[in-house]
Amino acid sequence: MTIDEAVERKAAHDNQQHAVLRELQYAHQVILAAAAIMTPGQKLLWAVENKSRGVPGKGAFRFHERAVAIFNATGEC
C-alpha cells in the first residue's frame, strides 16, 4: 500500500466514524423527543421491550450510556 492509499483509507475510515457519531447524536435527540411525549405507561412498556430484547443499561432510554459515548467521542454533552 502506498502512502496515498493509506491516507485515503484513513480518510474514509474517519468519514465513516464521523457519520456513525452523527447518527448516534441524531438518535439521541429522537429518543429524547419521544420520551418527552410518552406517558409513564408507555415508558414502562418501552423498558419491558428493551429488557426482553436483552438491551442492557439503566432506564428505559439508555440516556446516560449514549451521553457518555457522545461525550467520549466529542468532549461535548
Instruction: List the one residue out of 35, 16, 22 whose CA is nearest residue 70.
Output: 22
pLDDT reported for residue 23: 97
Do 43 and 33 meet the contact criterion of CB atoms below 8 Å apart?
no
Cell of 70: 457522545
Predicted TM-score (pTM) of this structure: 0.78
Q: Domain total for the chain?
A: 1
How many beta carbons lie within 10 A of that of residue 25, not counting itself? 16
- Domain residues for the domain of 15 are 3-74
Walk along the chain (77 residues) in steps of 10 and give the mean pLDDT of each run. Answer: 79 86 97 97 95 91 94 89
pLDDT (0 to 100) of residue 14:
81
pLDDT at 37: 98
CA 77/CA 74 separation, integer angstroms:
8
